[in-house]
Amino acid sequence: MGAVHIPLPALLSFFSGSGTDSYLPLLLNLRLARVLTAFLVGGILSFSGVLYQTVFRNPLVDAYVLGVASGATLGGILFLRLGYLYPWPGAFLGALLATFLTLYLGKHNGGVSLIKTLLGGIVVGSFMAATTTFLLITWKGPFHGGFFWALGSFSNSSLRDALGLVIAGSIYLFLFLLLHRSLDVLLLGEEEALSLGLKVGKFRLFLLIASALSVSLVSSKFGIIGFVGLIAPHMSRLISGSLHNTLLPVAFLLGGSLLVVSDTFARTAFAPVEIPVGVITVMLGGPFFLYLLRRRV
């Protein structure tokens, strides 16, 4: 549902518990569910961005830049088209495929080249996004005409979605806060991390799989939402520094807040027309990415 005006007195009475029930279904089942879902999705995307940037030791990468979000969306669509009831397993496989394709394209002299990785992510993401578009155009099934969804949308979010994301987000946050020292060690470089006893190869693989898992959970349901995992971690480092015990929760909160604001703008700025939230985040993130790229390269 798009923009529907709710009078301020009705909103205040809803929060005080003293009002009528006329706006209760709208506020509880639509507005509250949408805000919670957007916040949790933004937090998870920002969280995955921190993990990707730790693996690559580079603040210029996230699930969107690496093509992982596009891979997850394509995998989910393919699974639905093949007759599977749930898109998530296909989204997970698509996210993993995009991750390792980008890693392969980024190889250079036994290491990983920043420029090759970025270009590889653009190629992989563009190809998979184009394939998704082709499938949406030619498929006469449930997702026919689903471009709005593919560009990122919370229009069909529910309290059930929010509950599932609360569980997933809590597990991720708890798990990686336990591993915060290993994440800090990984930032020191491979040789230093190995000398401190960290099994770098296995730990990086674990982080890539965990990140692909989180991105696939989001992209299979809400489409491609770009650059949240780039902007929020960078802002978080300015606030909390680079130590993961503070960086991870701050990034989660900032990512969630950023996406709630973006979704509210997308829903209300041109009402009754609703803009896909992924369009808004890319418009914000594109210039920000170029700014970081100019400083880094």
The pLDDT tens digits for 42-54 are: 999 999 999 999 9
CB 51 within 8 A of CB 225: no
Q: Between 16 and 264, where is the model more confident? A: 264
Q: Is the pLDDT of residue 68 over 90?
A: yes
Task: Provide the pLDDT for residue 136.
Answer: 85
> To the nearest whole percent, how much of the chain has pLDDT over 70?
87
Window from 6-15, 105-114, 123-132 with minimum mean pLDDT: 6-15
Task: Provide the pLDDT for residue 179.
Answer: 97
Window from 135-139, 181-185, 263-267 with minimum mean pLDDT: 135-139
Please write the tens of the pLDDT for every residue from 226-254: 999 999 999 999 999 999 999 999 999 99
b (16+ CB within 10 A) / e for 8-35: eebeeebeeeebeeebeeebeebbebbb
Q: How confident is residue 257, by pLDDT bands cut at 50, 70 and 90?
A: very high
Q: Is the pLDDT of residue 118 over 60?
A: yes
Task: Provide the pLDDT for residue 156.
Answer: 84
Topology of the domain comprising 31-296: ABC transporter involved in vitamin B12 uptake, BtuC (1.10.3470)
Task: Provide the pLDDT for residue 1.
Answer: 46
Q: Between 80 and 266, where is the model more confident? A: 266
Q: Is the pLDDT of residue 112 over 80?
A: no
Please write the tens of the pLDDT for every residue from 130-171: 999 888 888 776 554 467 778 898 988 888 999 999 999 999
Amino acid occupying residue 48? S
Q: The pTM is what?
A: 0.88
Q: What is the mean pLDDT of the chain?
A: 87
List the structure tokens of 203. 């730990």
